[in-house]
């Protein structure tokens, strides 16, 4: 975290200070507590705002059931002074948890956009640093650091990356839950008294999406309301907690640790993963805008050098394990005919892999299926004008594999017990240097020997048995990718974990896209993508047209519908174009051509969701200064005969926009002002389920 010019600050009772983003101000104060609390989060305040007066204005009156030095929730809740909620830190020397009573220490600094606060408990021999920094998009990155100043080892069993006493308006929480093929299902509820929250235990964020949440007011909707969106930038386990008592509510997020997992030697320190916090003052679209801007500018690797996102053809739902060189060449040719730019060979290419029971670990081409190795296929694909991608699942090992026979103890296991599998596979112990070195060697050789432009990096099972190795495993995994990226900087990497099981900023700082879900059903994808798009921009969300009927849901949807939905992401195809009816193939090719025309806009513009009272309608729109492209889709039959006009907010109010319908061979013949489009909107033919429309807006004075 880069810190701006900061001046040292005196943390004492009554002291208030502020940090400012481009359009927001956060004010912190100590109101009897020893660690400051957030007392205001909102639109930018005047520079001359009297912070002392602000602090007095919002200070809750003392009540009789408090200790004299008020232990109200602060940026670091601690039990030593009578705070009765969950402490931010649980640490031990030996068996006994230490009572914690941090007081301000020297070295704290506050700058215009961030702070570094230092606290110490001289008796426990611990210091804590709390760092917050406002980054692009007015998104805040926060972390904490613990240092062991004692003379004995210190076990850290719990430590929060961020603790945030909630503003009074944050009465509701939108959290996410999910399962394979149904990731990121939203649930919104009033924050209950007591504890709510979630933790992952599988060594990755998981399908539950508990590493993303939004705390907001009761009226929070597409364009209205205040919200605080929170994410843990960590690919291992997370712990998020919302706690409400009679004094107010607080949210905490941090890594989930097993007792004894982190032990600091004297002088040692532990830095938490970053928490990412966005303040949205105009509804979900404001949160979306902040997260997208931050990810694009500060997180994604080398984004400035990204070429256009190439249209993929992925073999998985086209041929699954039924592949050989001839079949793949046939598939590649069919792909080339519809405009595919990258051919990705998914699972099934490596030694002996005929189903999901064998061969993970043996990352060499299957000799029967590829008698000439991979190079002849890659050359054919290149000759068709496409580059080449390959599926790998490096962290895993099949008990039935050459690697397992050679190194049976490289997997996570408990000596003397059986080795429980999931998807018939075990997890390699990446924290063992020889295991990570082996994997680097294998992947490095693969990328050196072959012209591979892209890796789909999969992760298809949870981490168990886990004797307190989850954090080290995630760190070793990151180190492996980092080393590989350094050696092969031009190779793009996708993070997949049976779909969206491992999506977080730590992966996104190393990868070029994520696989949001194995579910390519376009109706389900509208919902899944809307939820992911609260945090992630279209260019990182792999979005494919699958076969019909969909193999997961059994639903048959028209190609024109499926292809339009797939355009609002990083578009691809995961079906055999050669097996499609001529008309379908033609429709798909036309949509791919249209996507290529608009992807510059789709992958850099500001995205918003459109608001509908009708739950059977979905809409999204991406706009830059001169153009916008919207998708409006109906999933269920409308309860009314006439769908209401669809409103398109966010355009320049006084500019006029020509309205067109790409792929519909028609133009509306209308030009309307941005204000009119936002307030009155357009009536679209939206009565039938599984209909979708693309609407293009072109600013007239910019043509
Ligand atoms: C996982 C991925 C799929 C596919 C299969 C292959 O389930 O999410 O996209 O790659 O593995 O086994």
Q: Cα–Cα–Cα angle for 183, 188, 193, nearest 5°?
A: 125
| Cβ of residue 347 lying under 6 Å from some atom of ligand 1 | yes
For residues 413 and 449, membership in a common domain is answered with yes
Query: Residue 127: beta bridge partners?
Result: 120, 147
Atom 6 of ligand 1: nearest residue by CA position: 347
For residues 127 and 166, membership in a common domain is answered with yes
For residues 629 and 594, membership in a common domain is answered with no
For residues 151 and 252, membership in a common domain is answered with yes
- Scan for tokens 């394990």, then name that residue: 321
Q: Is residue 2 part of a domain?
A: no
H or E element that contains 528: helix 522-532
Closest CA to 350 of 276, 442, 435: 442
pLDDT of residue 552: 98
Q: Is residue 1 part of a domain?
A: no
H or E element that contains 658: strand 656-661
Q: How many CB atoms lie within 10 A of CB 496?
A: 27
Q: Cα–Cα–Cα angle for 103, 105, 109, nearest 5°?
A: 120
Could you tell me the CATH number of the domain that includes residue 669?
A: 2.60.40.1180
Distance CA 597, CA 603 (A): 12
For residues 295 and 312, membership in a common domain is answered with no
Final residue of a domain: which of 578, 600, 622? 600
For residues 61 and 43, membership in a common domain is answered with yes
Q: Identify which of 359, 498, 517, 544 to mutate to test ligand 1's pocket (most ligand atoms within 8 A of the CB).
A: 498
Q: Is residue 60 part of a domain?
A: yes
Q: Is residue 385 part of a domain?
A: yes
| Cβ of residue 391 lying under 6 Å from some atom of ligand 1 | yes
| Catalytic residue flag (residue 458) | yes
Q: Identify which of 204, 353, 458 to mutate to test ligand 1's pocket (most ligand atoms within 8 A of the CB).
A: 458
Q: How many CB atoms lie within 10 A of CB 284?
A: 25
Could you tell me the CATH number of the domain that includes residue 437?
A: 3.20.20.70
Catalytic residue among 347, 458, 521, 524: 458
Q: What is the 3-state secondary structure (H, E, C) of 374-435?
A: CHHHHHHHHHCCCEEEEEECCCEECCCCHHHHHCCCCECCCCCCCCCCECCEEEECCCCHHH
* One-character DSSP codes across 162-221: EEEEPPTT--EEEEEEEETTEEEEEEEEEPPSEEEEEE--SSS--TT-TTEEEEE-TT--
For residues 515 and 372, membership in a common domain is answered with yes
Centroid of ligand 1 to alpha carbon of 185 (angstroms):
21
Number of H-type helices and E-type strands within the chain = 13, 39
Atom 3 of ligand 1: nearest residue by CA position: 498
Q: Is residue 418 part of a domain?
A: yes
Atom 11 of ligand 1: nearest residue by CA position: 498
Distance CA 597, CA 594 (A): 5
pLDDT of residue 669: 84
For residue 17, how many C-alpha atoms fall within 13 Å in the half-sphere facing its CB?
23
User: Which residues are within 8 A (CB) of 146 and not within 5 positions of it... i.e. 6 or more apart?
Assistant: 89, 91, 126, 127, 128, 154, 156, 159, 264, 269, 270
User: What does the pLDDT look like over 415-453, one tens digit per residue?
Assistant: 999 999 999 999 999 999 999 999 999 999 999 999 999
For residues 677 and 566, membership in a common domain is answered with no
| Cβ of residue 316 lying under 6 Å from some atom of ligand 1 | yes
User: What does the pLDDT look like over 282-301, one tens digit per residue?
Assistant: 999 999 999 999 999 999 99
Q: Pairing state of beta strands 656-661 and 666-673?
A: antiparallel
Distance CA 596, CA 575 (A): 19
Distance CA 520, CA 526 (A): 10
**Low-confidence spans in the chain with pLDDT less than 70:** 1-14, 32-33, 69-71, 665, 667, 702-703
Task: State which residues form the domain around 586.
Answer: 308-600
Write down how long the chain is.
703
* Tokens found for residue 503: 């999506």
- Scan for tokens 């492996």, then name that residue: 480
- What are the residue ranges of helices labelled H in 427-519? 433-449, 470-487, 505-508
pTM of the full predicted structure? 0.97
For residues 65 and 153, membership in a common domain is answered with yes
| Cβ of residue 346 lying under 6 Å from some atom of ligand 1 | yes
Catalytic residue among 121, 362, 366, 518: 518
* One-character DSSP codes across 11-27: --TT-EEEEE-SSEEEE
Number of domains into which the chain is organized: 3
pLDDT of residue 568: 98
For residues 239 and 362, membership in a common domain is answered with no
pLDDT of residue 381: 98
pLDDT of residue 639: 85
Closest CA to 37 of 79, 73, 81: 73
- The helix/strand/coil state of 657 is strand
Final residue of a domain: which of 546, 567, 600? 600
Distance CA 644, CA 92 (A): 61
Could you tell me the CATH number of the domain that includes residue 11?
A: 2.70.98.60
| Catalytic residue flag (residue 50) | no
Check residue 91 and report its DSSP letter: E
Final residue of a domain: which of 273, 299, 325? 299
For residues 557 and 690, membership in a common domain is answered with no
For residues 223 and 370, membership in a common domain is answered with no
* Tokens found for residue 216: 């907001």
């Amino acid at each position: 975290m880069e810190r701006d010019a900061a001046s040292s600050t005196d943390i004492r009772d009554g002291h208030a200070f502020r940090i400012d983003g481009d359009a927001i101000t956060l004010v912190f104060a100590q109101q009897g507590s020893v660690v400051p609390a957030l007392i205001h989060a909102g639109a930018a305040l005047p520079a001359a705002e009297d912070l002392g007066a602000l602090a007095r204005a919002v200070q809750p009156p003392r009540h009789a059931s408090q200790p004299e030095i008020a232990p109200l929730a602060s940026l670091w809740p601690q039990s030593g002074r009578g705070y009765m909620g969950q402490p931010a830190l649980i640490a031990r020397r030996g068996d006994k948890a230490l009572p914690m009573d941090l007081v301000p220490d020297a070295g704290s600094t506050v700058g215009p956009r961030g702070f570094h606060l230092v606290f110490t408990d001289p008796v426990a021999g611990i210091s804590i640093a709390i760092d917050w920094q406002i980054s692009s998009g007015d998104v805040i990155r926060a972390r904490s650091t613990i240092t062991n100043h004692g003379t004995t080892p210190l076990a850290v069993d719990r430590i929060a990356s961020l603790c945030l006493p909630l503003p009074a308006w944050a009465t509701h929480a939108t959290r996410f839950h999910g399962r394979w093929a149904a990731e990121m299902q939203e649930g919104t509820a009033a924050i209950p008294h007591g504890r709510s929250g979630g933790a992952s235990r599988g060594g990755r964020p998981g399908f539950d999406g508990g590493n993303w949440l939004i705390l907001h007011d009761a009226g929070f909707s597409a364009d209205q309301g205040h919200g605080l969106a929170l994410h843990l930038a960590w690919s291992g386990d997370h712990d998020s907690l919302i706690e409400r008592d009679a004094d107010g509510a607080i949210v905490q997020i941090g890594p989930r640790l097993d007792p004894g997992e982190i032990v600091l030697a004297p002088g040692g320190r532990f830095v938490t993963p970053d928490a990412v916090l966005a303040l949205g003052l105009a509804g979900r679209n404001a949160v979306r805008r902040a997260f997208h801007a931050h990810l694009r500018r500060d997180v994604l690797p080398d984004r400035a050098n990204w070429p256009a996102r190439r249209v993929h053809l992925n073999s998985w739902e086209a041929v699954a394990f039924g592949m050989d060189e001839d079949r793949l060449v046939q598939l590649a040719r069919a792909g080339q005919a519809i405009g595919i730019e990258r051919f990705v060979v998914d699972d099934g290419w490596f030694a002996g892999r005929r189903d999901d029971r064998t061969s993970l670990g043996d990352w060499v081409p299957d000799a029967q299926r590829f008698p000439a190795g991979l190079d002849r296929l890659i050359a054919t694909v290149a000759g068709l004008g496409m580059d080449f991608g390959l599926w790998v699942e490096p962290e895993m090992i099949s008990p039935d594999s050459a690697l397992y026979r050679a190194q049976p103890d490289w997997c996570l296991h408990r000596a003397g017990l059986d080795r429980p599998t999931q998807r018939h596979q075990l997890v390699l112990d990446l924290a063992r240097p020889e295991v990570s070195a082996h994997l680097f060697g294998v992947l490095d050789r693969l990328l050196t020997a072959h012209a591979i432009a892209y890796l789909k990096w999969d992760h298809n099972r949870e981490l168990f048995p886990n004797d307190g190795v989850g954090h080290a495993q995630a760190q070793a995994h990151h180190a492996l990718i980092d080393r590989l990226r350094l050696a092969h900087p031009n190779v793009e990497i996708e993070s997949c974990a049976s779909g969206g099981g491992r999506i977080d900023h730590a992966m996104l700082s190393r990868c070029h896209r994520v696989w949001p879900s194995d579910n390519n059903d376009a109706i389900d994808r509208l919902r899944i993508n809307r939820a992911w798009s609260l945090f992630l921009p279209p260019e990182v969300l792999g979005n494919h047209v699958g076969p019909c009927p969909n193999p997961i849901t059994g639903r048959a949807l028209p190609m024109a519908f499926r292809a339009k939905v797939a355009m609002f992401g990083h578009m691809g195809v995961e079906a055999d174009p050669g097996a499609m009816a001529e008309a379908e193939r033609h429709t798909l090719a036309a949509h791919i051509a249209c996507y290529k025309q608009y992807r510059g806009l789709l992958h850099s513009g500001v995205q918003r969701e459109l608001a509908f009272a009708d739950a059977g309608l979905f809409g999204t729109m991406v706009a830059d200064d001169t153009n916008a492209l919207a998708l409006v889709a109906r999933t269920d039959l409308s309860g009314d005969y006439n769908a209401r006009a669809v409103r398109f907010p966010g355009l320049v109010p006084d500019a006029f926009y020509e309205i067109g319908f790409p792929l519909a061979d028609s133009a509306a013949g209308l030009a309307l002002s941005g204000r009119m489009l936002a307030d009155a909107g357009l009536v679209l033919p939206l009565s039938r389920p599984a209909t979708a429309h693309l609407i293009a807006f072109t600013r007239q004075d910019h043509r």
